[in-house]
Structure 1
């Protein structure tokens, strides 16, 4: 029972890391594309 709970918590943490990593990657790509198009004058 305890081991199952620990495994479930670890799986949830891994899932959250994967989701946040995916969102950050998409955000980074959007940012890079907007810079590449020259929307920002830096």
Structure 2
């Protein structure tokens, strides 16, 4: 594990076109994407 999967929970990797958003907006965007939903499930499992 590692790479983008870990960095997304802290900040977007350098060079990624990712605007500065409020945390709620980021969560909404993540929930809309299948890969983001998977990441949320992984984080919930670790919590």
- TM value normalised by structure 2: 0.32
- TM value normalised by structure 1: 0.35
The higher relative CO (CA closer than 8 Å, separation ≥ 6) is in: 2
Structure in which a larger fraction of residues adopt helix = 1
